[in-house]
Amino acid sequence: MAKDKSVNRLISIGNIVIPLILAFIVGSIFSILSRCNPFTLYGYIIKRAFFSVGGILNTLGYATPIIMTGIATAFSIKAGIFNMGIEGQVFVGAFTSALAGYMIKGLPVFIHVPLCLLIGALSGALYALVPGLLKAKLRINEVVTTVMMNSIATQVTGFLTQSYLSTGDAYAHTEFILESARLSKFISKYRCTTAIFIALAIWLVIYFVLKKTKFGYEIECIGRQWEFSDSVGMRVSRKVIIIFVLGGLIAGVAGATEIMGVNYNFVSTFSANPGIGWDGFYACILSASNPVGILIYAIVFGALRYGALAAQTWLGVPLDLINVIKSTLVLFGAIKLCTVYSEQIKGFFFKKKAVKAEHQAQEV
Amino acid sequence: MGSILIETRDITKKFGDFTANDKINIAVEEGEIRAIIGENGAGKSTLMNMLYGILKPTSGEILFNGKPVILDSPLDAIKLGIGMVHQHFKLSPSLSIYENIVLGDETVKTLNVFGKHFKGFLVDQKKEMAEIQALVDKFNFNLDITAKVRDISIGAKQRVEILKMLYRNVNLLILDEPTAVLIPSEVEDLIERMQDLKKAGKTIIIITHKLNEVKMCADNITVIRGGRVIGTVRNDESTTDSDLAEMMVGRPVLLRVNKSDKKPGDKVVYRVSNLSAKDSDGKKIINDISFDIHENEVIGIAGVEGNGQTDLMLALTGLLDISEGSVSFNGEDITGLWPDELRRHKIGIVPEDRYRQGLCLGMPVSANLIAGMHGRWPFCVHGIMQNAPIKENKERLVEAFDIRLGSDDPPVGSLSGGNAQKVIIAREFSKHPQLLLVSQPTRGVDIGAIEFIHNEILRMRDKGAAILIFSSELSEVVGLSDKVYVMYKGEFVGIFKSDDVSFNELGLYMSGVKRMSKEEIAANG
């Protein structure tokens, strides 16, 4: 049994390492095509992202919203709900907090900052309530509704910014938020803000909720088997709504902190391509909703975002190359080769274990 | 009796390291009816699937008519003359009986072009119907071959399945648990048909775990346990049911449940009045159901599957909306409460579908044993799960209910049917319920565990609980209950005291041939 466990661990480590290797091989091909030695590129990204105080602060700055969107996604995926609407909820949260940041005037920092965060969080939650209700009450597939609502959120906020809220500048943005609504930075020229503490606090709370609480137990049951959960009395439809709303709440905070700490105004490109909601989703898929894995992948993605910018500036490697690496990473990660071939791997380490389950399946 | 038709020599089937069939040697003579009996998981189905070409043996060989054969698929088996009828029918409901029978093997009109014959694409329905009508008459199958399959009874569907094989000229017919879905009169009919087939020279292998039916029809009985042949005996007076049961289980078992003399009390614990429910199309699926359960009383609900028992159970456990009527528990109205509220009222629920509603397969035994009570002290304090009491609870229940675990706390999905059911029984019975709603308590459970579960149910009854049992196993419903209601098309059509009712009589009500009036049922209820 102990041996079985260690092989299982090996398989899950393989599921992380092999996609990394494959993704970097694919990335290398494109790197060579853009006339850059892949080892120089990777070495440069790692050096820039991790080997200086500024680099670390920038990496963490890019990782901050991804930690939040990742954990928000994990929350619903654990419950078997494919809430793909985090990106849209991020947009709504960012937009409303940007408005609250300049429209509400004359408040001290210690009220204005939490107020803007709260408004961002609540509007994200409200936006997530719609697909939540549709799923719980009318059994409408959440993938369709959330993806469509992403488009609505990005287009409508973009339209409003261009039209009614336009400042008349050449590029569309809202007015800058007041000093009293801004989050402070550790060092002013690097991206990382105090939002990292908010992200880590949210991460800790969700980690605790998932692992230790009654709600976490119910989420796990619902995710594995909702019919069972319903029949032992977990009121699945109500829980589904709560899960959507909590995900939207966190996504709203992620959007708000980006505006309040980094951008100071709402521009429709603040989330960049692919958006921070999607990066969170990727981190969640790659780590199989494991909170620790999400934290690690959020930092890896943060490093890639920052490193890619630096590489574009200094090595002339296009930004898109890094996105190719990231996408192939997610693709190979989703394939989970080591799980597909788990029997062979186990057979390699010790002569085949009893496969009783298969036999029982035959008997039924 | 003639020569040996089919024989296996040291046939072995392994799944990984697990040996499902271990060097099995059986020989079936031409024209014999051979029963193969054994508990769930003994390896009967694996063996039959190898004879029918669905599985390939790991080692050993199959001899048909004395020649070794290799069966790669059921098609090979059918070509040789081996046919199998599965437990779950594979019929198309919207086609007629004869269309189902010829499906995949249609008679095609030949085209005559300048004196040359070509296979055409038009089906010769007249010829097909004539052939099948001849088959039906020959074996007394009593079927209207133009009827649609969706309109015929389960027994008739089974005859269609058998005809499908006969149409393909099989000599050896394998029947996998053929009586599991039949009412008693249909079972008798099936056994008569089997005798007719035998007279016509067909050989039959029947797999089952119902001993009384084996005694009625088989010439020889082979017992399998743990993937090995325990022995083959002639079916005569010297072979008793309890001998066979002992061979199957490996120890003496009690075949009849021993109900205590304790009489039901006067206090009504559970009252269901005029309950109705509708499906999503607005059609009534439960119609005006009323009954009482007293203290120390077991009420059984019998019926052919699919007559509303499932829906009634869902409605009573808060998972299906009730459109009319009321339910009360100890005088308190509990109509339409959520399942968690019902559980708070000391109501234990054993759902029909163990693996979908009763257990969470991927979660460990300890987590399954607290489901439904997971929010309560001592398992949960201020919303935080408490590991020590959860573990302690698991250890106590595993011990008390004799649940066999492979390791310390494995996922429930890795347990056998019997042990998985014991997890549910342990969870629901251990919270001292005053009312138990139990559906299909022993479906797919081995004989040893059935005995255990039956005794637990009767122990709860003697402790004062009111119990409602749904079961498609007639002997179980009648054996455990004080009174039995028969359900037909969403209604109660009869009520019987369980100590003076014959299975045949129940069968007539279950199939809708006879029914009592509403007043008669109310008067006896």
DSSP A89-144: HHHHHHHHHHHHHHHS-S--HHHHHHHHHHHHHHHHHHHHHHHHHHHHHH---HHH
For A151, the token pair is 């488009």
Collect all residues of chain B within an 8 Å Cβ-Cβ radius of residue A231.
317, 319, 339, 349, 351, 357-358
CA-closest candidate to residue B244, choices B195, B207, B217, B210: B210
CB of A212 within 8 Å of a chain B CB? The answer is yes
Q: Give per-residue pLDDT as tens, B109-144.
A: 777 777 777 777 787 888 888 888 988 888 888 888
Q: What is the pLDDT of residue A364?
A: 39
CA distance B224 to B245: 11
Find out whether B360 and A221 touch, Cβ atoms under 8 Å.
yes
CB of B45 within 8 Å of a chain A CB? The answer is yes
For B392, the token pair is 């302690």
Task: Check B339 against A230: CB less than 8 A apart.
Answer: yes
Question: Could you tell me which residues are beta bridge partners of residue B33?
Answer: B204
CA-nearest residue of chain A to B406? A1
CA-closest candidate to residue B67, choices B147, B136, B6, B148: B6
Q: What is the pLDDT of residue A130?
A: 95
Q: Name the band, by pLDDT with cuts 50, 70 and 90, for residue A360.
A: very low
CA-closest candidate to residue B444, choices B435, B433, B453, B436: B453
Amino acid at A273: N
CB of A169 within 8 Å of a chain B CB? The answer is no
Question: Could you tell me which residues are beta bridge partners of residue B4?
Answer: B29
Task: Check B360 against A225: CB less than 8 A apart.
Answer: yes
Collect all residues of chain B within an 8 Å Cβ-Cβ radius of residue A359.
15, 18, 20, 41, 46
Return the number of other C-beta atoms located less than 10 Å from residue B9's C-beta. 15
Q: Give per-residue pLDDT as tens, B203-247.
A: 999 988 777 788 888 899 999 888 889 888 888 877 887 788 888
Find out whether A233 and B343 touch, Cβ atoms under 8 Å.
yes
**What average pLDDT does the segment B27-46 reach?**
86
Q: What is the pLDDT of residue B208?
A: 82
Percentage of chain A beyond pLDDT 70 is 94
Amino acid at B194: M
Phi first, then psi, for residue B309 (nearest 5°) are: -65, -45
Return the number of other C-beta atoms located less than 10 Å from residue A310's C-beta. 18
Task: Check B374 against A214: CB less than 8 A apart.
Answer: yes
Show which of residues 140-159 on chain A sit within 8 Å of chain B, judged by CB atoms: none
Torsion of Cα atoms, A145 then A148 then A152 then A158, to 10°: 140
CA distance A280 to A65: 8
Amino acid at B240: T
Q: Give per-residue pLDDT as tens, B147-160.
A: 898 888 878 888 89
Collect all residues of chain B within an 8 Å Cβ-Cβ radius of residue A218.
374
Task: Check B18 against A213: CB less than 8 A apart.
Answer: no
Contacts of B325 (CB under 8 A, 6+ apart): B272, B273, B274, B275, B276, B288, B289, B290, B335
Task: Check B16 against A353: CB less than 8 A apart.
Answer: yes
DSSP A183-241: PPBSSTTSS-BTHHHHHHHHHHHHHHHHHHBHHHHHHHHHHH-HHHHHHTT--HHHHHH
Q: Name the band, by pLDDT with cuts 50, 70 and 90, for residue B256.
A: low
Find out whether A110 and A156 touch, Cβ atoms under 8 Å.
no
Using DSSP's 3-state secondary structure scheme, residue A323 falls into: helix
**What average pLDDT does the segment A167-196 reach?**
88
Give the domain ranges of chain B: 4-81+170-249, 268-346+432-524
Give the domain ranges of chain A: 66-290
More confident residue, B278 or B473: B278
Collect all residues of chain A within an 8 Å Cβ-Cβ radius of residue B367.
217, 221
Indicate whether A188 pLDDT > 90. Answer: no
For helices A319-335 and A2-33, give the axis angle rounded to 10 degrees: 150
**What average pLDDT does the segment A13-38 reach?**
85
CA-closest candidate to residue B209, choices B444, B49, B18, B522: B444
Q: Which of A212, A225, A353 sits opposite B385 (nearest CB)?
A: A212
Indicate whether A362 pLDDT > 60. Answer: no
Q: What is the pLDDT of residue B107?
A: 78
Q: Which residue in this structure is represented by tokens 């992948």?
A: A297
Task: Check A359 against B20: CB less than 8 A apart.
Answer: yes
Task: Check A354 against B18: CB less than 8 A apart.
Answer: yes
CATH class as words, domain B268-346+432-524: alpha beta
CB of B380 within 8 Å of a chain A CB? The answer is yes
CB of A33 within 8 Å of a chain B CB? The answer is no
For B16, the token pair is 């990984």
Identify the helix (H) or strand (E) that includes residue B466: strand B466-470
More confident residue, A13 or B384: B384
CB of B405 within 8 Å of a chain A CB? The answer is no
CB of B46 within 8 Å of a chain A CB? The answer is yes
More confident residue, A167 or A63: A63
Q: Which of B15, B20, B339 sits opposite A232 (nearest CB)?
A: B339
CA distance A331 to B163: 51
Tell me how close the Cα of B384 comes to any Cα of chain A, in angstroms: 4
Phi first, then psi, for residue B90 (nearest 5°) are: -120, 75
Contacts of B321 (CB under 8 A, 6+ apart): B277, B278, B315, B336
Q: Which residue in this structure is represented by tokens 């559980």?
A: B343
Q: Is B146 exposed, middle or buried (0-12, 13-18, 19+ CB in 10 A)?
A: exposed
CA distance B384 to B412: 23
Q: Which residue in this structure is represented by tokens 């069939």?
A: B21
Q: What is the pLDDT of residue B2?
A: 67
Percentage of chain B beyond pLDDT 70 is 98
CA-closest candidate to residue B34, choices B230, B205, B175: B205
For B238, the token pair is 């010297």
Torsion of Cα atoms, B147 then B150 then B153 then B159, to 10°: 70
Indicate whether A1 pLDDT > 50. Answer: no
For B380, the token pair is 């949960």
- Mean pLDDT comparison of A115-129, B65-79, B418-432, B470-484, highest-scoring range: A115-129
**What average pLDDT does the segment B404-433 reach?**
87
Tell me how close the Cα of B361 comes to any Cα of chain A, in angstroms: 8
How high is the mean pLDDT of chain B? Answer: 87
0.90 exceeded by the pTM? no
Amino acid at B198: K
Amino acid at B185: S
Show which of residues 67-126 on chain B sit within 8 Å of chain A, judged by CB atoms: none
Secondary structure in 3-state letters for B207-230: EECCHHHHHHHCCEEEEEECCEEE
Find out whether A224 and A78 touch, Cβ atoms under 8 Å.
no
Q: Name the band, by pLDDT with cuts 50, 70 and 90, for residue B435.
A: very high
Backbone region of residue B66 per phi and psi (left: phi > 0; alpha: psi in -120 to 50; beta: other values)? left
**What average pLDDT does the segment A25-47 reach?**
87
Find out whether B8 and B62 touch, Cβ atoms under 8 Å.
yes
For A36, which DSSP code? -
**What average pLDDT does the segment A252-259 reach?**
96
CA distance A297 to A65: 12
Q: What is the pLDDT of residue B255?
A: 61
Indicate whether A223 pLDDT > 80. Answer: yes
CA distance B447 to B255: 9
For A50, the token pair is 């991790």
CA-closest candidate to residue B19, choices B37, B43, B45: B43
Q: Is the ipTM of this complex over 0.85?
A: no
Task: Check B17 against A214: CB less than 8 A apart.
Answer: no
CA-closest candidate to residue B373, choices A207, A214, A35: A214
CA distance A256 to A95: 8
Indicate whether A361 pLDDT > 50. Answer: no
Express the helix, strand and coil content of chain A in percent, nearest 5 each. Answer: 75, 0, 25
Task: Check A235 against B383: CB less than 8 A apart.
Answer: no
CB of A214 within 8 Å of a chain B CB? The answer is yes
**What average pLDDT does the segment A200-220 reach?**
94
Q: List the single best residue of A139, A208, A219, A359 to mutate versus B (max B Cβ within 10 A).
A: A359
CB of B273 within 8 Å of a chain A CB? The answer is no
Q: Annotate A259-292 with b (16+ C-beta within 10 A) or e (fewer).
A: bbbbbbbbbbebbeebbbbbbbbbbbbbbbbbbe
Task: Check A360 against B372: CB less than 8 A apart.
Answer: no
Indicate whether A351 pLDDT > 70. Answer: no
CA distance A158 to A242: 29
CA-closest candidate to residue B467, choices B259, B182, B318, B256: B259
CATH class as words, domain B4-81+170-249: alpha beta
Using DSSP's 3-state secondary structure scheme, residue A60 falls into: helix
For B254, which DSSP code? -
**What average pLDDT does the segment A112-133 reach?**
96
CA-closest candidate to residue A185, choices A262, A295, A118: A262
Indicate whether B190 pLDDT > 50. Answer: yes
CA-nearest residue of chain A to B364? A221
How high is the mean pLDDT of chain A? Answer: 87
Identify the helix (H) or strand (E) that includes residue B193: helix B184-199
CB of B357 within 8 Å of a chain A CB? The answer is yes
Q: Which of B17, B360, B372 sits opposite A224 (nearest CB)?
A: B360
Q: Is B114 exposed, middle or buried (0-12, 13-18, 19+ CB in 10 A)?
A: exposed
Q: What is the pLDDT of residue B123?
A: 79
